[in-house]
Chain A
Amino acid sequence: MEWYSIDTWIVVIGALAAGACALLGNFLVLRKMSMMGDAISHAVLPGLAIAFLVTGARASLSMFIGAAIVGVLTAVFTQWISRFGKVDEGASMGIVFTTLFALGLLLIVQGADHVDLDPSCVLYGAIELTPLDVVWRPTLFGYFIEVPRAALVLVGVALLNTVFVVAFFKELRISSFDAELATAMGIHSKLMHYLLMSLVAVTTVACFEAVGSIIVIAMLIVPAATAHLLTDRLWLMVVLSVLIAIVSAVLGHLSALILPACFGFADTSTSGMMAVMAGLIFSTVVLFAPKYGVLPRLVRKTEAVR
């Protein structure tokens, strides 16, 4: 295995994306809305398509805005359908996101003559190629550093998410655990909900380009769920989830380079392996977590019986 500066950038970009997602994921998991990440990541397609068709360029800002709007709409529609139609929340989410995705697909195909917006590219992303798109070349201690565009975008998103979580930590905590209490305390829990949803949408779009939707969905849920098994304190859960996300990003790229080589193949997709690594960490924690793990609980049970 050889390590190039490109590999460093891949790991950095992966870790930034993973960390940014994991931060928000904590609150999705606690609010029992984990599938919202999956739903939004499919549903933003029409937002991207409309932004593209209107502006005629793959300008980042308009795409962000389009995606954020559709992301919030996904949450709004889901809630409407489940409240007014008395439909199970999961089902209404499924209806909304498949419909929006189909709409986006239709728009893209209809405008296909002059579009280089490929749905499968949007969904898969290509983290291996992102370091090649260099936009900033600062000199640091006499070294040239070539900073890719994706890294800058993701630093921005990660900062935004961190500021959001730190600034509204109290509000997020109370409204996640007890929305009615939050309302009674004068916290606008609906506003928090939609802020969270729009940030999820923005993060999703920022990560799409860089790393593909599969990392977004995995990193929104898996690290947060893992941390949830390890601790009962929210702040610790948030910190742990970000750490787990970063570790799985690093391990993911390493294993994408090393693992296939063990079986005589060349390397494989980094984003896929990042999700797999997060899954492995999760399975380990499910089995061995001190308080909520399956095995420790089994041991405690047998001891209690004895």
Chain B
Amino acid sequence: MPELADICNVLLLRDYNTRLVVICTMLLGCACGLMGGFLLLRKRSLMGDTLSHATLPGVGLSFILAVALGGDGKSLPILLVGAAITGVIGCAAVLFIREQTRIKDDAAMGIVLSVFFGAGIAILGVIQTMPEGSAAGLESFIYGKTASMVMSDFQILVFVTICVITCSLLLFKEFRLLCFDETFAAALGWPVKFLDILLLALITAVTVTGLQAVGLILIIAFLITPAAAARFWTNQLDRMLVLSALIGGASGWLGASLSAFIPRLPAGAVIVLVAALFFVVSMLIGTERGVMVRFLRQSQLKKRMGRQHLLRALYEILEGGRLTEELNIRTVPFRQIRGRRTWSDTQLRDYIRRAYNDGLVEAPNKVDSILLTKTGLAEAAQVTRNHRLWEMYLIEYADVAPSRVDRDADMVEHVLGEKMVTRLENKLQAYRSAGSLVPQSPHPIHPGD
């Protein structure tokens, strides 16, 4: 086991080599997280996969070209430029196939990925037989060399990260609209194609610099996982991007540190796993779209809907007779409620039990009937009123047929807020029936009884 002092050394970046690796992966995680956010919202997450595979032929070709021209085949800038060029060509090919043929997105990405990667392998195969130099080292361009990064990697990464952050800040508004409504952006007269290409170029830059530093799988994971994790926490693009960059950076930091003080732990793999852990935790407890929050919200909505359905059913049954506050008239037989909606006995009993606990209904005697309390009656009137207001609004302003309006209103009325009801009331001044709080139903109430 590593000593505490070692752990401190690593986490506080005291060792030069570790410091370089950890800072590089952190930077890369931030930049990738940021770009991944845009990719995720454009539903193009796997573009990073395609892009990173499509760089291989560029690496090989630029090596051959450089050697043929008498230069140094392994100079980093030349290889990077070559990689970027074929990467962009690959992306363009995906877009071309998708737009010009009946082939779908996924197949287009798969085709470009495999064909370009195959071409890259063939080119590397040729290089291996060249007398000028072995292809050794070129492969690490794809697999990365996380543990042995050098100062020049750091400089390039810093440069790219700064570029990416600056561009995202300057063009935030444009990129946001591009992500959410491309056609609207085009209608506004924005250069959508140019923005799209700029975004792709930024992603290519991040991918290419990252590839030779940390390898293909880690780059793909960095482009997808932090963004997907951040999405669970917020619906705001700016917050999501910041969070995604933070998660990316944190996974880089934690993963690289872990692999530094535990032997035989490949940094790239550990970072991917740390990011995946972030994702799983976010998916479970994310406050905006996490599984638990959504489950809670759904069950609450279900309960509220059940309660409102029950109250409205009771109100509508009572409405037929003389609706006063006298007790004996507020009693409704169970059988009659049962006929109002398609609900099962257990469901209905459950709703009634809940309403009883909330003091909305009472069981007056042993007979199968229930009694609406005064509070219950008030809320039932409120619920019915909201429902009818919404129905009238639909008839008047949304051209929904009166025969259908009951069902349509049913879908929305449970989420009507106080403000919305006031606005409906103002719109529907004319329908406010004089004297009564609850307007008349705009359609015959179906004879369930």
Q: Which residues of A contact B (CB under 8 A)?
A: 29, 32-35, 37-38, 42, 81, 84-88, 90-95, 98-99, 101-103, 105-106, 109-110, 112, 120, 124, 214-215, 217-218, 220-222, 224-225, 228-229, 256, 260, 263, 265-269, 271-276, 278-279, 282, 286, 292, 294
Contacts and interface: CB of A to CB of B under 8 A. Distances in A.
B154 interface: no
Contacts of B220: 94, 98
Contact of B101 (A29, A90, A222, A294): A294
Contact of A106 (B111, B115, B273, B289): B273
A82 to B, nearest CB: 10
A274 B114 CA distance: 10
Contacts of B130: 265
A272 B111 contact: no
Interface of B: 40, 43-46, 48-49, 97, 100-107, 109-111, 113-126, 129-130, 139, 143, 217-218, 220-221, 223-225, 227-228, 231-232, 264-266, 268-270, 272-273, 276, 279, 283, 289, 291, 294
Contacts of B101: 229, 286, 292, 294
Given A217-B113, A265-B130, A38 B49 contact: yes
Contacts of B223: 94
Given A256-B125, A279-B116, 4 more contacts: A88-B43, A92-B228, A217-B117, A292-B102
Given A103-B269, A105-B266, A106-B269, A35 B118 contact: no
A95 B225 contact: yes
Contact of A282 (B48, B100, B111, B117): B111
Contacts of A224: 107
A106 B265 contact: yes
Contact of B121 (A29, A106, A269, A294): A269
B115 A286 contact: no
Nearest to B114: A218
A221 B114 contact: yes
Contacts of B269: 101-103, 105-106, 109
B115 A222 contact: yes
A225 B100 CA distance: 14
B266 A109 contact: yes
Contacts of A268: 122-123, 125-126, 129
4 tightest CB-CB pairs across the interface, nearest first? A275-B118, A279-B115, A272-B122, A272-B121
Contacts of B114: 38, 214, 217-218, 221-222, 275, 278-279
A274 B118 contact: yes
B268 A94 contact: no
B118 A218 contact: yes
A278 B121 CA distance: 14
Interface centre among B129, B139, B225, B283 (most CB of A within 10 A): B283
Contacts, number: 211
A112 B264 contact: yes
A96 B11 CA distance: 28
Nearest to B45: A91
Given A32-B104, A33-B106, A35-B106, A120 B143 contact: yes
B211 to A, nearest CB: 14
Contacts of B221: 94-95, 98-99, 102
Contacts of A109: 264-266, 269
A87 B232 CA distance: 9
Nearest to A259: B122
A141 to B, nearest CB: 36
B102 A98 contact: no
Contact of A272 (B44, B118, B273): B118
Nearest to B118: A275
Contacts of A42: 217
Given A94-B45, A95-B225, A102 B217 contact: yes
Contacts of B264: 109-110, 112
Nearest to B255: A102
A272 B57 CA distance: 11
A38 B48 CA distance: 13
Contact of B110 (A105, A124, A217, A256): A217
Contacts of B110: 34-35, 37-38, 217, 220-222, 225
A218 B43 CA distance: 23
Contact of A271 (B105, B111, B118): B118
B40 A91 contact: yes
Interface centre among B45, B116, B120 (most CB of A within 10 A): B45
A67 B437 CA distance: 68
A275 B126 CA distance: 15
Contacts of A274: 118
A101 B101 CA distance: 33
A215 B118 CA distance: 8
A182 B113 CA distance: 32
13 contacts: A34-B104, A35-B109, A94-B45, A99-B273, A101-B217, A109-B266, A222-B114, A222-B115, A225-B103, A265-B126, A268-B125, A268-B126, A272-B121
Contacts of B121: 124, 214, 269, 271-272, 275
A290 to B, nearest CB: 13
A294 B99 CA distance: 10
A282 B273 contact: no
A214 to B, nearest CB: 5
A98 B272 contact: yes
Nearest to B221: A98
A288 B13 CA distance: 59
B129 A85 contact: no
Contact of A81 (B113, B272, B283, B294): B283
Nearest to B229: A95
Contacts of A99: 221, 225, 272-273, 276
A272 B119 contact: yes
Nearest to A216: B114
B108 to A, nearest CB: 8
A279 B118 contact: yes
Nearest to A92: B228
Nearest to A221: B110
Contacts of B122: 256, 268-269, 272-273, 276
Contacts of A85: 228, 232, 283, 289, 291
A279 B110 CA distance: 11
Contacts of B102: 228-229, 292
Contacts of A91: 40, 45-46, 224, 227-228
Contacts of B232: 85
Contact of B111 (A86, A105, A279, A294): A279
